[in-house]
Amino acid sequence: MATTKIIELIGASPNSWEDAAQNGLVKAGETVKEIKSVDCVAFTAKVENNKIVEYRTNMKVAFVVE
């Protein structure tokens, strides 16, 4: 029987929330193995001069504990 752990993180991108989620997942994958799922909990953005300059995706990442 496997045990699953969940961590929370924020991915960022200058392009889109989807890219922000992908960037966060790729970065997490550098140190976390066997990622099984991602739950995107919230979407926020950094704004400068009334323009979105950075998209942010708050995520819960689930992975198997070895």
* Tokens linked to 47: 């704004």
Give the per-residue pLDDT at 64. Answer: 94
Per-residue pLDDT reduced to its tens digit, 27-49: 999 999 999 999 999 999 999 99
Give the per-residue pLDDT at 2. Answer: 84
What's the pTM? Answer: 0.88
Domain definitions of the chain by residue range: 3-65
* Tokens linked to 33: 């193995």
Per-residue pLDDT reduced to its tens digit, 2-16: 899 999 999 999 999
Q: Mean pLDDT in the chain? A: 96
* Tokens linked to 4: 């699953």
Assess if CATH 3.30.1660.10 describes domain 3-65.
Answer: yes
**Which residues are CB-contacts of 19 (< 8 A; sequence separation ≥ 6)?**
13, 55
